[in-house]
Amino acid sequence: MDQRWYKNTIIYSLSVDSFLDGNGDGIGDFVGLMNRLDYLNGLGVGAVWLTPFHPSPRRDHGYDVADYYSVDPRYGSLGDFVEFTHGCHTRGMRVMMDLVLNHTSDQHPWFQAALADPDSKFRDYYIWSDEKPADAHEGMVFPGVQDSTWTYSPEAKAWYYHKFFDFQPDLNIANPQVQTELMKIIAFWLELGVSGFRMDAVPFLIAADGIRVKDAEPAYGLLRRIRELAQWRKGDAVFLAEANIPPEDCLKYFGEDGDRLHMMFNFPVNQTLFYALASADTRPLRAMLEASRDLPPTAQWAHFLRNHDELDIGRLPDDQRQAVFDAFGPDKDMQLYGRGIRRRLAPMLGGDRRRLELAYSLMLTMPGTPVIRYGDEIGMGDDLSLPERDAARTPMQWSGARNGGFTSSTDPVRPVIDDGPYGYRTVNVAMQRTDSGSLLNWTERMLRTRKELPELGQGSYTILPAPDHVLAMCYVLEANVSVFVHNLLDQRAELRIPVLAQDCSDRPLVCIQTNEIIPRHADGWYHLVLQPSGYRWLRIGGLEDMIVGEEPEADA
């Protein structure tokens, strides 16, 4: 059995500024976060992924980095960061962090030097044009909010390229000096105890149009060199790519031999999963699961429901995208960039506990590693009065105390949700902790069970024949055999599942949540009844039947 840590862990994503304020200035910080490591550990989290915490003008939630080598003083110091990683390690948790290498802030000293002096070596760290390029109003990542991809700088007397906002000039990755800088940044944080990076905007980072070298191929070779460096400096470090690409391109990012990035978010599964929730039609999801197979042995998908950005459904065909908008974001104000929904999970699902469980259960049983967004474990809501993606970035709701216990200040970094069904008096950790039936306690139990099922992260899978509104999947890892069934319709479903694997055909399936035993029927199939929006986690022999495997093979 493969013992690679990232194949059987739970990743929890948070931004330091909205988790817990330790010094009462209204902004979350490392001291606050350290106070909640036992909470995260108790929930079953194996790795904490922090969104950018570097010094930054924070015009894009910190994705506009002004200094890669330190910590925003509002959050603490480098010393606090190391205390934090140490605190994680003593609890057996790992630290992952965002790595934003496609662009810097326009306040970064490299860009400032590049503006000031055309002969500076930093000029060539960025991408310039003397004339306004003909395609300056094409290819914006934030259409509707961002007007162009080239902006004129009177100081530099030239146009600079920016795939994202105009305050985020793209780095010129084709410049070997820039590559050397990137390697140094990675090595620096590895030395400080980081186990992995969520690599931001990878298709843009390596894209030919961001490099502007004649006949340039996407710079996949760079991904391999980054992997080589990390394996030499810290053998168990991983890279998790943010790349919203069609599944057939994924091997370019993983590397045919698994010699590039270790992990990728599975955006195609995410989009079709939301379509399945919206329409009860699981066929597109099945197609994406089929297309996501056959990875090199060290490669791994990461699955998620919501993240810190909009729910991006831009890759769905028009009618499917419209179905998701209709179900989960019908108002224009809920939609963003023409392709997404800027809401949290719970309000999208109308706060319906059965639908929330169904969504979570689906995500947790996808082939790969689950990634959870802070606050979703208690069903937090959104604040659509905040601009763009900030709607889903409100402070964590710890208790019914003022400002949800997030800060003692009267001026939180973003407003805490304080009224309606998702207000902090109604939705908070303290209340849910004491209620054994709460979403928080349900999530904790599900995560615990998920970790006892390594076949989900490492096994092979078959999509079993079932009606379109049911997803039934069987996972096999050595002698472990599990079946996960989900009924997307709000009606009772009767189901027959075929024999799963030859050597277990006479044995009963055991429902992991209830210990109910489902014997093999005389016709050779297993017969099941699913409640409306119901789900079942089943295993041959139950959880007690765990088989212990062999040593892992060598890494790529």
Q: How far is the CB of 457 from ligand GLC (least distance, A)?
A: 24
Least Å distance, CB 409 to Ca ion, is: 8
Residue with tokens 């395609």: 135
Q: Which of 467, 290, 307, 449 is nearest to 367 (CA)?
A: 290
Q: Quick check: 463 and 472 in contact, CB under 8 A?
A: yes
Question: How long a stretch of residues is the chain?
Answer: 556
Q: Which is nearer to ligand GLC, 205 or 269 (CB)?
A: 205
Neighbour tally for 380: CB within 10 Å? 25
Interaction of residue 100 with ligand GLC, rule CB under 6 A = yes
By a kind-dependent CB cut-off of 5 to 8 A, residue 21 interacts, out of Ca ion, ligand GLC, none, with: Ca ion
Residue with Cβ nearer ligand GLC (222 or 470)? 222
Q: How far, in Å, CA of 331 to CA of 114, rounded?
A: 43
27 binds Ca ion (CB under 5 A): yes
Residue closer to ligand GLC, measured from CB, 200 or 376: 200
Q: Does 312 bind ligand GLC (CB under 6 A)?
A: no
For the segment 35-74, give every residue that binds ligand GLC (CB under 6 A): 60-61, 63
In terms of CB distance, is 240 or 481 closer to ligand GLC? Answer: 240
List the catalytic residues.
Answer: 200, 242
| Contacting residue, 23, 41, 231, 441, with Ca ion by CB under 5 A | 23
Nearer CB in complex with Ca ion: 411/516:
411
Instruction: Report the C-alpha gap between 129 and 332 in whole angstroms.
Output: 37
Q: Which residues contact 97 (CB under 8 A, 6 or more apart)?
A: 49, 50, 52, 53, 189, 194, 196, 197, 198
Rounded Cα gap, residues 166 and 105, in angstroms: 9
Closest approach of ligand GLC to the CB of residue 64, in Å: 7
Residue of 200, 357, 376, 377 interacting with ligand GLC (CB under 6 A)? 200
Q: Which does 201 bind (CB under 5 to 8 A by kind): Ca ion, ligand GLC, none?
A: ligand GLC
Measured CA to CA, the distance from residue 333 to residue 384 in angstroms comes to 7
Q: Binding string, 141-180, against ligand GLC, x = CB under 6 A? A: -----------------------x----------------
Least distance (Å) between residue 307 CB and ligand GLC: 7
CB of 30 to Ca ion, least distance (A): 9
For 106-163, give the DSSP string.
Answer: TTSHHHHHHHH-TTSTTGGGB-EESSPPTTTTS--SSBTTB--SEEEETTTTEEEE-S
On the CB side of 45, CA atoms within 13 Å amount to 28
CA 499 vs CA 290, 474, 522, 545: distances in Å? 20, 10, 11, 18
Helix (H, G, I), strand (E, B) or coil at 481: strand
Q: Which 220-279 residues touch ligand GLC, going by CB under 6 A?
A: 242
Exactly one of 1, 25, 259, 543 binds Ca ion (CB under 5 A); that residue is 25
Q: Which is nearer to Ca ion, 407 or 482 (CB)?
A: 407
Q: Does 309 bind ligand GLC (CB under 6 A)?
A: yes
Specify the amino acid at residue 530: L
DSSP-assigned letters across all residues of 36-73: THHHHHHHT-SEEEEPP-SS---TTTT-S-S-TTS--T
Binding partner selected for residue 29 from ligand GLC, Ca ion, none, CB under the kind-specific 5 to 8 Å limit: Ca ion
Residue nearest to ligand GLC (CB): 63
Which residues between 207 and 226 bind Ca ion (CB under 5 A)?
A: none
Q: How far is the CB of 487 from ligand GLC (least distance, A)?
A: 33
Which residue reads 């197979």 in tokens?
293
Ramachandran angles phi, psi of 422, nearest 5°:
-110, 10
Q: Which single residue brings its beta carbon nearest to Ca ion?
A: 29
Name the percent of the chain in helix, strand, coil, to the closest 5: 30, 20, 50
Cβ proximity to ligand GLC, 41 vs 151, nearer residue: 151
Q: How many residues bind ligand GLC (CB under 6 A)?
A: 10
Binding site for Ca ion (CB under 5 A): 21, 23, 25, 27, 29
Binding site for ligand GLC (CB under 6 A): 60-61, 63, 100, 164, 200-201, 242, 308-309
